[in-house]
């Protein structure tokens, strides 16, 4: 195995937000996690435009801290701040 292999490309936060929007804008955290696993793979690494990398739970917290998602208990919904347009 090549130990110098590049890390996997991250799934950007706006892609997760778009997935949630396609799901109607609201879901349980577990339902969104399952949908993200199907869409991006269970080993997906999430990222932002600044190059930070996150786990699924960390990206939810990051996006919530920016107002792009609202996480209340076990529910997640689209936030008040629009996501970026992507790359």
Indicate if the pLDDT at residue 78 is higher than 60: yes
* Alpha carbons 12 and 9: distance in angstroms, whole number: 9
pLDDT-based confidence at 1, cuts 50/70/90? low
**Residues 34-76: pLDDT tens digits?**
999 999 999 999 999 899 999 999 999 999 999 999 999 999 9
**CB 17 within 8 Å of CB 63:** yes
pLDDT-based confidence at 2, cuts 50/70/90? low
């Amino acid at each position: 195995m090549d130990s110098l292999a590049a890390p996997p490309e991250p799934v950007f936060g706006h892609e997760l937000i778009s997935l949630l929007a396609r799901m109607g804008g609201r879901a349980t955290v577990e339902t969104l996690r399952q949908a993200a696993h199907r869409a991006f793979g269970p080993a997906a690494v999430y990222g932002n435009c600044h190059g930070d990398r996150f786990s699924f739970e960390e990206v939810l917290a990051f996006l919530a801290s920016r107002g792009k998602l609202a996480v209340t208990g076990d529910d997640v919904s689209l936030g008040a701040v629009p996501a970026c347009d992507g790359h």
